[in-house]
Chains A and B, each alone.
Chain A
């Protein structure tokens, strides 16, 4: 296919296909078209995110309090450190990508191979880290209560100011309630697995522990979450109707439920792009090893996948900025 495109582009008559818009080859131009349309899709996501966040600005979760995990450091509060690290790894894979493109210009097969390999490894580490972030986000850490109005009530120790997990204080009340399965009940009804604790157990445990207070999802003028007094907390806990552990598209223990929806959609869509990029990089990598581009006389295919890779990297810079940092 590429060979055909190149033989056509040797035509010098403009109206017979000899025209190269912007001095760019057919393949690169098409990659640019794709990048522009894809950029519009990501723009749509980020603009929708911005609108929703602005509308719920008084109850939006603080990313620093959500993404606090670092591999092998259990219980250590490391806000954003791992996301920053994986961002750096992705940016570094963009550096190795541009080094591969440059080596391609010099027709240096060995260097192109090496830098493509590094790019693939960087991309794979990023996707793996993203999966790990998702795992932590979905699993949750502390658990929370949800009121009828959809507000999330988190728990903290009034003395230490540290968050407290449900398992640390929930009372153990004997209850016959089990997850309903359609095999042993009404066959057309089913439900997702029940949380580890019932609302009554959490409320009883909360009432028994005098030092516990509720951390509301509302934000004060300095940008901190408002912590309720003990009396207000007790009143709020009695309004709760759900126990929430972790996050899905309907409930999340971090606060406003839209937060989780946008997290899943934006980082998921981007992660899908990185995954596709890694797959395409692997294909090109093997083509390089087999000498396809050496025979062709140019490494333009590496440039094209490079364009895509830099674009995906750039999109992450925006996602990182608007979703995690701001």
Chain B
């Protein structure tokens, strides 16, 4: 199928994947890294991120 080989790159071509399956795992890994950082920040709650910005805490 033609659409199998389209759009295998993410971040404007910074990362290119060889197949759809690889891209699926690649995106999962990337989002997992982002999630891990956010979870760690959420557990540690560093003082610098608890200040107010636009009436809201930067880190909830």
Contacts and interface: CB of A to CB of B under 8 A. Distances in A.
**Pairing of A with B:** yes
Interface of A: 84, 88, 92, 95, 98-99, 102, 105, 223, 325-326
Nearest 8 A/B pairs, CB to CB:
A102-B20, A95-B28, A98-B24, A326-B60, A105-B1, A99-B24, A102-B21, A95-B24
B28 A105 contact: no
Given A84-B39, A325-B60, A326-B60, A99 B21 contact: yes
Interface residues of B, number: 12
A98 to B, nearest CB: 6
Interface string B43-58: 0000000000000010
B4 interface: yes
A299 to B, nearest CB: 12
Contacts of B20: 102, 105
Given A95-B24, A325-B42, 17 more contacts: A84-B39, A88-B35, A92-B28, A95-B25, A95-B28, A98-B24, A99-B21, A99-B24, A102-B20, A102-B21, A102-B24, A105-B1, A105-B4, A105-B20, A223-B57, A325-B60, A326-B60
Nearest to A96: B24
Contacts of B21: 99, 102
A118 to B, nearest CB: 13
B21 to A, nearest CB: 6
A214 to B, nearest CB: 26
Nearest to A94: B28
Interface string B1-36: 100100000000000000011001100100000010
B48 to A, nearest CB: 16
Contacts of B24: 95, 98-99, 102
Contacts of B39: 84
Contacts of A223: 57
A84 B60 CA distance: 16
8 contacts: A84-B39, A95-B28, A98-B24, A102-B21, A105-B20, A325-B42, A325-B60, A326-B60
A62 B42 CA distance: 14
Nearest to B38: A325
Nearest to A87: B35
Contacts of A95: 24-25, 28
Contacts of B35: 88
A157 to B, nearest CB: 23
Nearest to A80: B42
Contacts of A84: 39
Contacts of B28: 92, 95
A223 B56 CA distance: 11
